[in-house]
Chains A and B, each alone.
Chain A
Amino acid sequence: MTAPSSSSQSAADLAQPPGQEVRTVISFLLFLHFFALGVAIVSNWSPSSLALRLRNVPGVRHYLQWLDQDQAYIGLYNLHDGLPEDTDAAVEVDLRLKNGSERKFTLPAAGLWPHQRFRHFSRLAEVAADLAPNQDLQSVVPQAVAKHYVAQLQAEGEAVRDGTVRVKHWLLQPMEAIESTSADQRDPHSAIYDRKVYEARIKLLGGKVSLLKVEEARDVAPAARSAGNQTSRGANSKAKPSKGE
Chain B
Amino acid sequence: MPAKPYAIMAEFETPAATLHAAEKVYGAGFRNWDVFTPFPVHGMDRAMGIKNSKVGWFSFIGGCTGYMTGMLLIWFTNAVDYRIVIGGKPMFSPFSAFPPSYELTILFGSFGALLGMLFLNRLPRLHHPLLKNRRFALATHDRFYVVIETSDAKFSDYETRRLLESLGSRHIEWVEE
Chains A and B form a bound pair = no
